[in-house]
Structures are given as structure tokens and as C-alpha cells.
Chain A
Amino acid sequence: MTLDELNVGEKAVITAVNGEGALRRFLLGMGCTPKTEVTLQKIAPMKDPIEIRLRGYTLTLRLEDAKNIEVKYL
């Protein structure tokens, strides 16, 4: 499954980061590396983007980009 499929409050662990180019490298650099735990914190009032928590900080990204992050439940 991918990150955008999580429900609010659910925790999962990243298994792979797909996609390519600048976005992928940026996500990796921000610490979205395999084996990292993430929690889906919130969905924006207009249903997109989403707010996730990882490595002790909060990151926001669009659903479309969250589809590139594969996760599995702990």
C-alpha cells in the first residue's frame, strides 16, 4: 500500500520511495528512507495535501506525491 491510503492517526513504516528526479531525491533527503516510521497526522480541510510526522518533525505533501511512498503497517 502507499502513504496516501493511511487513515488519520495510523502509523506505518516506509518500504520504498518510488518516482524519480528532484522530488524523489528531496523526499529521501528529508528522511523518507526505507525502514522509517511515519504517522499520518492530518488531512487538509480541502482533502489535500496531507500532514505526516517522521523523525521528530512534521512534513506536508500532496496526495499525488504520497502515492510514490510505499508503506506497510508495523
Chain B
Amino acid sequence: MINFALIGNQNSGKTTLFNQLTGSNQHVGNFPGVTVDRKDGYILGYKDRVITDLPGIYSLSPYTNEEIVTRDFLLDEKVDCIVNILDATNIERNLYLTLQLIELQIPMVLAINMMDEMRTNGGTIKINEFSRAIGVPCVPISAAKNEGIQDLVHEMMRVAVNKIRPEKIDFCAGAVHRCLHGISHMIEDHAVAAGLPRRFAASKLIEGDEPLAKRLNLTQNELEMIEHSVVEMEKECEMDREAAMADMRYCFIENLCRNTVIRPTVSKEYLRSVKIDSILTSKYFAIPAFVLIMGLIFYLTFGPIGTFLSDGFALIIDWIINYISELLIQFEINPVVHSLVVDGIFAGISSVLSFMPVIVVLFFFLSILEDSGYMARVAFIMDRPLRQLGLSGKSFVPMLIGFGCSVPAIMATRTLSSERDRKMTILLTPFMSCTAKVPIYSVFALAFFPNHAAEVMILLYATGIVVGIGFAMILKKTVYKGAPIPFVMELPNYRMPSAKSVLLLMWEKAKDFITRAFTIIFLASIIIWFLQSFDLRFNLVEDSSYSILANIGQIIAPIFAPLGFNDWRAATALITGFSAKEAVVSSLAVLLKTSADQLPTMLSSMFTTASAFSFLLFTLLYTPCVAAIAAVKREMGSVKSTIALIVTQCAIAWIIAFIFYTCASLIL
């Protein structure tokens, strides 16, 4: 078995190269303990050559989760060969990471990507000279056009099998050079004992990398000597240690590029980006353009395309359910088992699976936004308002998707680079009222506010947003008190997204969702079916008002007395809303023993206008549905925070509805 690690800057075409190298032969997972994607795949044509796609990073300093994960992976796992992908059109900054990787002294190949773009613009890299100067084998490629990939694979095999390590390690001169050498000799024994490459350890010590210093187990005396030598170096360079190290690397890079890289005078891709941005990020058109683009995506996803696919999907599922149902009847299977399979498991799973087309379509658009480079512009435009909440512009899109469905919204937080931002965004998303709640709003609006349905809807959506903002403010002051991760982000050139990457991402998300539907949601469906079908003596009930669920509804109903609806049927309907929000309406119809079109009339006998609105406020804000909770649990990676979110949301919902109902009763 030979293990490769694929590493490079963000926007360097890393995922595209990974897809070219492995095809659909990928396994997606998480690095232990953090929600950082880890993808492994077999290289096409080789059964025992695995390549791991590491997160896109700019440096090996231990600050972001992605950097820590990558460092630990390279230092602790047995990596036979690093494949470092560089963007030829942005080679200077890309080489900064390369120089740090070289210090690890692991066999390495440089894949110089986007060479086609470089050449069509009249520039080039003198590959042989470049390779000699940096001491690492280089292969020019174009990942998007699948050019040079075979050469790269051959070179990767040659380097890995013959263990060809980077030849050079000195990129420095003068004071920094002396300091690095001195320290690297001093710590040699410690580095060997800790299993760390000594040059890498020395650089990181100078940069003040504490986790690494601890790992080296240095004596007090040695630490002082190192400090002394670094201070000497700082004096001589007239720069502090961090700036001196960065300056040293960039000086080497500038020199290397001067001799081996012919830069194009103009880049068509850059000029095109500037042109596109003259609308998409301009002073007056940026926000209208953004509203238009998101509106179109929403319309297509939740409108014609989504509905068409969802309906088609539902038809197929119905057909399967009917077929199985008939089969069970034909073989005279016990009616309880029949009910479990048809009304419990299949009904539960199919209600969740019917989300799937919408999710796949949404991710289709999202991956286009992401891969084309527009998502970075959204963050640029929307950063300012979100900063007040302690977030950055990148959180805007996931929250917006929350108005469609919380599940893909929570899944989309993966694109956020900071763990803190990601978690805060996940916690805020459920406050954006999703489309599944619309049927509840419309039934109640029809019954109680027939002439003001639109105003009621707008008021509910606005309440969700306002409460979400308040919740964010509280989170910022309590749980996520630390300083927000600064917002410094590259704005890449606009690029045509590759069909292969988009399709693979859609497939990945669909697979992920199906897996979840058949595990956690499967279990939840069985539990809800059981509670709905049996009474407290475990007898099967004909009438669901005698079921365990109705009993639970009766027990908890008094909790809602201060909100104005001390009614077991309302309470029971709210519990069923846990499986899917649409279920609130259907359960109310069942429990009131009425049809859907008669429901509004029946509701007006059950609620007053004030208690009806209070009920709506409660449904707006209380616990997300089981599919969303499953997504939260997965992305937060913590059962505790997930339960905390459910409890907090229910509490907030109760308090808001209570305040409203109390005020309303006083006024009315």
C-alpha cells in the first residue's frame, strides 16, 4: 500500500485534481474530533495506491482546524508522498506553503495546475529550471482539462517508490539562515525522539509555535538559548521573528520566480473577473444582483424543478409502498406488522426522502456558486451586517437556504472555514422559517386572519429573523465569547465550474442524506408509529386519540395553558411536528376528526384569535424536525449541543408565545 496526501491552497483546483485522480472511487468521512472533511480514494488504475484529499490551506501554522488537521496528518500518519498542487497563475503565494512542506522532508511532487491558462495568456514556467531550483520534481497539468494527469501519476509513483525527498532545504541567507541552522543542530536529539523533521521543528520554534515546542520536550536552558538566538536574529534583520520568517520565504520565492517564471502581461481570466465584478460587486448593483440570483435559485429549487422532481419521486415511493403493502396482504402478514412497515417505517422515511430532490437541486446550484467563485463575492458583499452578530459574510448563504429547508442549510455550513462561525450559523439556521411550516401558517391564517394572511406570514418570518438575531447576540456574549476569526479571504478569478465536480458533490450529498434517512430517521419513525398506534396497555388502538402519543399530549397540554391553548390535541399535533412540520396540520385534522378543507372551521372552535397566533409563534420557533436535528447532530459533532439546541429553542418558543399571549389578553 502506498499513501499519497494531496495538499494545496484553496482555489488551486485541488478537488478537481482529486476527482480526476480517483474518479468516483471516493470515500468521504471526517477527521476524528473535528468536522473537517476527509476524502480518500484509490488512484484510477491502481488498487493499492490511496490518496487523501487534505483541506485547502495557505500555511502550516497551527491556528485553524484545517491547518492543525493537515499538520497532524502529515506528521503522524505514514504518508509516502506529498502531492502539492500549485496554481501557476498565482504561483508566488502558492509556493509559500510549498516551502513549509519541503521542511517536512517527505517525498514530494509539485503538480503545477492551470498551465493552460498561463500559456494562453502568453506566460510560462520553465519547468526544468524551476524544478532544479526548488529541488522537487514538477509536473505541469491542467486539472480541469484533464491534461498532464497521466504524467503526474507516473511521477508520483516514481517519487513514492524511490523515496525521492526534496533535495534542498535552505532557502535563506544571512541572519535567518544562521539562526535556523543553530537551532536545528541544538534540537536534533529532541526532534529525533519526538519523530519530527528537525528543520521543520526549528522553523516552527522560531515562529513561536507552542504545541510543537511542547512536543519537543526542551529543557529550560535550551529554550532560553533558542530565545536568545532568535532575539539576535531579530536585531540583525530589524524585523520580528514572524515577519523575518515570512520575508525570508517570500524573498526566495520572488527570486525563484524572477528567474524561471514568465508572467503574462495580461490575464484574460483576471480581466473577465474584473468585468463581471464591475456588476456583481459594484456599489449599486451588487445587492440587487444578489437578490436576483438567490431568488432565481429559490424559485427553481422550491418552485417548478423541485416540485416536479419531488412529485415524481413521491409517485415512485408511493408505488413501492403500495406494492409492498399488497405483498404483505397477499402473504397474510399480521396487520400490526403491515401497519409498522407501511404506516410507520415507509411513511416516515418517504416523508423525509421527499426532501431529497430539493436538496440535490439546491446543492447543484450551491456548488455552481461555490466553484464559480461567486460565493466568495457574497461573503464580500454581506460581511458588514453579519459582523454585528459576530459572524462573517460567509454565513449568509447557509442562513438564507434555511428559509427553504434547514437540512441543506445546515449541510451547507461545511463551506465555512472557522469552526466558531460554523457552529453559530448552524444554531441560527432553524430560526429561519422553513417552507414545511407554510402549510401550518396558511391553515391558521385562513381560519383566523382570512383578510390578512400575507401580513401574518410576513410577521412570522420577521419574528423568526428578529429572534434569531437576538439569539446570536446572546451566543456571542456567552458560549462563543472568543474573538471572531478575522475575515481575510481570497477572491479567486471567476471560473467555469467543472461538471464532474458538481455531479460528484450532488451524489455525495444525496448519499449522505439517504444514509441518514435509513438510520436515525428510520428509528424515529418506528418510535412515533409505536406511540401513535398503541395505548398505554400496549393494545393496538383504532382511534389515535387513545394512543400513547395522545396520553403524552394530555400530560403536557397544561404546559401550554399560559400560552392560551391548553388542549391535548394541539399538544399532540406539536409532538408529531417533531417528525416533520407538515405533520402538524395532518395530525390536527386526524385528531379533530375532520377533513383538510373543514379544518379551518374546526380550528376556530378550538382557538381564539390570540391563542391561534400564540400557537403559530410557538410552531415557528420550537424544535426543528428530526431530519434537521440529525443534520445538526452530525455537523456539530456533539449530542450535548444538539439537545441543548432543542431545549433552548423550545424554551424560547414558549417564552415568546407567552409574552405575546399575556400582552394580547391584557389589551383585548
Measured CB to CB, the residues of A under 8 A from B are: 16-17, 22-31, 33-34, 36, 42, 44-49, 51, 55-62, 65
Contact A58 B58 (CB under 8 A): no
B384-396: contact bitstring with A at CB < 8 Å (1 yes, 0 no)?
A: 1101000000000
Q: How far is A45 from B247 in the complex, measured between Cα atoms in Å?
A: 34
B61 within 8 A of A: yes
Pair B491/A46 contact, Cβ less than 8 Å: no
Mark B266-307 against chain A: 1 for CB-CB distance below 8 A, else 0: 000000010001000111101100000000000000000000
Tell me how far the C-beta of A11 lies from the nearest C-beta in chain B, rounded to whole angstroms.
16
Cα–Cα, bound, A27→B250 (Å): 13
Interface string of B91-102 (1 = CB under 8 A from A): 111001000000
Q: How far is the CA of A47 from the CA of B379 in the complex (A)?
A: 14
Minimum distance in angstroms from A28 CB to a CB of chain B: 4
Pick out which of these stretches binds chain A: B74-82, B238-246, B310-318, B649-657.
B238-246
Q: B538: CB under 8 A from chain A?
A: no
Smallest beta-carbon distance B391→chain A, Å: 13
Candidate in B207, B282, B384 with the most chain A CB atoms within 10 angstroms: B384
- Is B601 positioned at the interface, with any CB of A under 8 Å from its CB? no
Instruction: Choose among B61, B246, B383 the residue that contacts A33 (Cβ–Cβ < 8 A).
Output: B246
Q: How far is the CB of B500 from chain A (nearest CB, A)?
A: 25
The main secondary structure of chain B at its interface with chain A is helix
Picked from B93, B207, B281, the residue with its CB within 8 Å of the CB of A30 is: B93
How distant is A56 from chain B, measured CB to nearest CB, in Å? 6
Listed A/B pairs (14) with beta-carbon separation below 8 Å: A25-B61, A25-B207, A30-B93, A31-B96, A42-B277, A44-B281, A45-B281, A51-B281, A51-B380, A58-B273, A62-B383, A62-B488, A65-B487, A65-B488
Contact A29 B246 (CB under 8 A): yes
Q: A24 — which chain B residues lie within 8 A by C-beta?
A: 242
CB-CB under 8 A from A51, the residues of chain B are: 281, 380, 491
Q: Taking CB as reference atom, which chain B residue is nearest A20?
A: B242
A46 touches B488 (CB 8 A): no
> How many residues of chain B are within 8 Å of chain A by beta carbon?
42
In the complex, chain B residues whose CB is within 8 Å of the CB of A30: 58, 93, 96, 488, 490
Residue from the list A17, A31, A44 in contact with B384, Cβ < 8 A: A44
A44-B286, A51-B380 given. 19 additional CB < 8 A pairs?
Answer: A22-B485, A29-B246, A33-B243, A36-B250, A42-B281, A44-B380, A44-B384, A45-B281, A49-B383, A56-B90, A56-B93, A57-B490, A58-B491, A59-B488, A60-B379, A60-B487, A60-B488, A61-B487, A61-B488
A-binding residues in B (CB < 8 A): 58-59, 61, 63, 89-93, 96, 207, 239, 242-243, 246-247, 250, 263, 273, 277, 281-284, 286-287, 376, 379-381, 383-385, 387, 485-492
Q: Quick check: B92 and A48 within 8 Å, CB to CB?
A: no
Q: A17-B243, A45-B283 are in contact. Are A29 and B489 (CB under 8 A)?
A: no
CB–CB B58/A46 < 8 A: no
Does more than half of chain A's interface fall in helix, strand or loop, or is it mixed? mixed
B247 touches A33 (CB 8 A): yes
Chain A residues near B486: list those with CB within 8 A: 22-23, 26, 61-62, 65
Q: B91, B92, B282, B287: which has the most chain A beta carbons within 10 Å?
A: B92
Complex CA gap A22/B487 in Å reads 12
| Closest CB in chain A relative to B69 CB, distance in Å | 16
Q: Which residue of A lies closest to B382 (CB)?
A: A46
What residues of chain B lie closer than 8 Å to A29, measured between beta carbons? 58-59, 61, 96, 246
B63 lies within 8 A of A26 (CB)? yes
B381 interface neighbour in A23, A28, A46, A58, Cβ under 8 Å:
A46
- Chain B residues near A42: list those with CB within 8 A: 277, 281
Q: Which residue of B lies closest to A52 (CB)?
A: B491
Cα A59 to Cα B379 with chains together (Å) = 12
Are A28 and B242 neighbours in the complex by a CB distance under 8 Å?
A: yes
- Min C-beta distance of A10 to chain B, whole Å: 17
Q: Cβ of A16: which chain B residues have Cβ within 8 Å of it?
A: 243
What are the residues of chain B within 8 A of A62 when measuring CB–CB?
Answer: 383, 387, 486-488
Distance, CA A16 to CA B246, complexed state (A): 12
Q: Which residues of A contact B492 (CB under 8 A)?
A: 57-58
A48 CB → nearest B CB, Å = 5
Contacts of B93 in A (CB 8 A): 30-31, 55-57
**What is the CA–CA distance of A57 and B95 in the complex, to the nearest angstrom?**
13
Among residues of A, the one whose C-beta sits closest to the C-beta of B60 is A29
Known: A28-B246, A51-B380, A59-B490. A46 touches B385 (CB 8 A): yes
Specify which of A45, A56, A59 is in contact with B92 (CB 8 Å cutoff).
A56
Distance, CA A31 to CA B488, complexed state (A): 12
Who on chain B is nearest to A19 by CB? B486
A22→B64 CA distance, assembly (Å): 9
Complex interface: chain B residues within 8 A of A61 (CB)? 486-489
Q: CB-nearest residue of chain A relative to B91?
A: A56
Which of chain B's residues has its CB closest to A55's CB? B92
Max count, chain A CB within 10 A of own CB: residue among B91, B247, B282, B487: B487
> In the complex, what's the smallest C-beta–C-beta distance from A24 to chain B, in angstroms?
7
